[in-house]
Structure 1
Amino acid sequence: MPDQPTPSVGRIVRVPMNPTTNNGASEAPAIITRVWNDTTVNVRILADAAPSKDDWRTSLVLVESLAEGDGLCRWNWPGRV
């Protein structure tokens, strides 16, 4: 993916969410907590809901759009579709 920022600890990214556990929103911001490489990270999610066991995700893969694929193990940069 051209012109992508480099992931680093502390950067904000977007992750998909189940709307029923995120006050109706299908995505949420997350803070990178570990960088494995330019496309794979661990995150702490800042959901619009009470804290839960799903606040952490590991080994998320960068996608161009959160609409790509299914499941919750993907992320992209804010400002992307």
Structure 2
Amino acid sequence: MSQHPAPSVGRVVRVPMDPATNNGADEAAAVITRVWNPTTVNVRILADAAPRPEDWRTSLVLVENFDEGAGLCRWTWPGRV
């Protein structure tokens, strides 16, 4: 993985989304709310839809891009494809 800043509370990251619950977009911005280690965080999602309880995600794992792995429990830095 290339060099990234250390995750910290308040930083904005990207998370994958189900387009059906995000006004057609397959990703959204999220704010880190807890850092467990350099690759695992909790976030509050800033979806393009009304807030829902599932807009909190825990124990997301850092990936270089969303092609790595499956599911919604991953995050990456802005600017990645």
1:26 to 2:16 alignment: no
Deviation of the 1:66 alpha carbon: 1.3
1:17-56 mapped onto 2 (5 Å cutoff): 17-56=17-56
Letter in 2 for 1:9: V
Alpha-carbon distance between aligned partners in 1 of 2:19 and 2:70, rounded to the nearest angstrom: 14
Alpha-carbon distance between aligned partners in 2 of 1:4 and 1:30, rounded to the nearest angstrom: 17
Question: TM-score, with normalisation over the residues of structure 2?
Answer: 0.97
Deviation of the 1:67 alpha carbon: 2.1
Alpha-carbon distance between aligned partners in 2 of 1:10 and 1:4, rounded to the nearest angstrom: 16
Alpha-carbon distance between aligned partners in 2 of 1:64 and 1:56, rounded to the nearest angstrom: 21
Structure 1 unmatched runs, 5+? none
Letter in 2 for 1:50: A
User: How many matched pairs?
Assistant: 81
User: Cα RMSD (Å) of the superposition?
Assistant: 0.6
Quote the residue 1:77 is aligned against: 77
Structure 1 runs (4+) deviating above 4 angstroms are: none
Identity of aligned residues (%): 77
Alpha-carbon distance between aligned partners in 2 of 1:5 and 1:54, rounded to the nearest angstrom: 27
> Any idea what SS the aligned residue of 1:36 has?
strand
